[in-house]
Copies of this chain bind each other. A is one copy, B any other.
């Protein structure tokens, strides 16, 4: 007898950004699987078994979750943000692809959520108002040369850039290398945002420019936004400026 596997997006943190679909799944599951920081967000309840695991063991965690579902459990693998955006959906599918046949027969449902770049953008105005791209700076799973190639292509296409996983204790330097590259390709007055822990008690948003930014501000909980050439500020009295990438291109401001 076979269970079910949900891959549940918890959003950036606060309950106000958790979809009703995700809330309902969290009520239905018998087994909760995830990185400690994410499972800690869920209130324990009778009948819910919690399987917390360390960061950077996404495949092991996925396999454990698939085994539980095959044993008849209703399993929820939780992800911060949207599971489809640099989170657990791809890891679960990689495990399915390389696992036993019975995993392909499982009922698997991905529940989308608000991702960090959207929460950050909402705080600032409309920095993603034009075409944009999202790049993970982690070279744990892809070569740094590919990341450089993508940063260059993003500049060639004049996309707004959202950088996920900009830095961690094990990878403190990539964000410095990325900024060195971007500074050769985009004007130094390009708006840059470091949005840390948006929606959580330790939220900290830093609005700066490509020329003046300190890449050292980025950590594991930070989403970095790099404006396109049209991105600019709207100054306001007694309020922080709004950041706008206009929908139109080459138009008068």
Contact = CB atoms under 8 A, between A and B. Distances in A.
Interface of A: 11, 15-21, 24, 58, 82-86, 89-94, 96-97, 101, 104-105, 108, 110-115, 118-119, 121-123, 125-136, 141-143, 146, 149-150, 152-154, 156-159, 234-239, 242, 244-251, 253
Nearest to A146: B249
18 contacts: A16-B21, A17-B112, A20-B20, A84-B118, A84-B122, A90-B126, A90-B245, A93-B234, A94-B246, A105-B236, A105-B239, A108-B125, A110-B121, A112-B118, A114-B114, A146-B158, A149-B157, A152-B157
A48 B118 CA distance: 28
A61 to B, nearest CB: 13
Contacts of A234: 93, 96-97, 104
Contact of A94 (B92, B96, B133, B244): B244
A159 B237 CA distance: 40
Nearest to A58: B247
Nearest to A236: B104
A92 B150 CA distance: 31
A133 B136 contact: no
Contact of A112 (B111, B119, B141, B157): B119
| Most B Cβ at <10 Å: residue of A90, A101, A127, A251 | A90
B134 A90 contact: no
